[in-house]
Amino acid sequence: MVPAKTLEDVIRMVNEQQKVVKKQQKEIQVLKDVHEIQNLMGRYVYLHEVCRDPEFPDTMYAQKTPGISSEVARMGVFVDKGLRKLYKKPEPGSPLSDMRGMLFTHPLATPVIEVAGDGKTAKGLWMSPGYETSQDPATKKLVGCLCYTKYGCDFVKEAGKWKMWHYHVYRIFLTPMNTPFTEEWEANVRDKAMGAMGAGGPSPFGKADKPTTYDHPYSKTTERELVPAPPEPYETFSDTFSYGA
């Protein structure tokens, strides 16, 4: 028979080992979650480059969580079923209906990803130094542009899989390859020609569900702001801010 003192020591040791195992299991799960979120965003970028955007509402976004939203620069906020307007295939004759020569490549860099302590939600922020084609409003010709943005996203786990919940693209600058971004080409030329998308201006995506919440591209007359801010560790989503509207 094991002496009482020794038995107590064994029980205490087993309990301590169980705590260590539980902690390690949680840490492993967080690593798996971060990896899955990175893959989700990576697939989004690769599929966006080949214009498979109409698939996104069904494959990339949450399906059962209310308040799903997507906001891209100055285009307004598309919410829940409104996402289908943003990602639908443009009608023939409308802007972007002819995708020949179009290119949208937005690599992801400088990730900061935090998974909630309860494991139900997560937040991620990325820099994106990319390039794309744009139409010069003066000549109507395609122009190769540098396109720098940031991605601030909230994620939710549904049926054991991570899905986008709030997707927000914050533009930094868009400029032709032969034009310094200090010329503010987009703000001075392209924006005026395209109008304020999501606020009554021309858009191939239809009217947004809500107005733009934040859009502050580079300007020589303003200072940069820490928006979006990198996520900090949090326990539940009620303890943090949202990248959505």
Mean pLDDT value across residues 175-191: 82
Mean pLDDT value across residues 171-175: 93
Q: What is the DSSP letter of 51?
A: T
Pull the structure tokens for residue 16: 């301590």
- What per-residue confidence (pLDDT) applies to 12? 84
Question: What is the bridge-based pairing of β-strands 69-72 and 161-176?
Answer: parallel
- What per-residue confidence (pLDDT) applies to 196? 40
Q: Is the pLDDT of residue 184 over 60?
A: yes
Contact criterion met (CB below 8 Å) for 82 and 102: no
Instruction: Write out pLDDT tens, residues 13-44.
Output: 888 888 888 888 999 999 999 999 999 999 99
Mean pLDDT value across residues 60-76: 95
Q: What is the DSSP letter of 82?
A: G
Q: How confident is the model at residue 190 (pLDDT cuts 50, 70, 90)?
A: low
What domains can you pick out in the chain, each with its CATH number?
4-239 (3.10.450.50)
- What per-residue confidence (pLDDT) applies to 98? 76
Across the chain, what does the average pLDDT equal? Answer: 88
Q: What's the one-letter identity of residue 118?
A: D
What number of CA atoms fall less than 13 Å from residue 212's CA on the CB side?
16
Pull the structure tokens for residue 240: 């943090």
Express as a percent the part of the chain with pLDDT over 70: 88
Contact criterion met (CB below 8 Å) for 138 and 215: no
Sign of the four-CA dihedral 97, 45, 220, 182: negative
- What per-residue confidence (pLDDT) applies to 18? 84
Mean pLDDT value across residues 200-219: 80
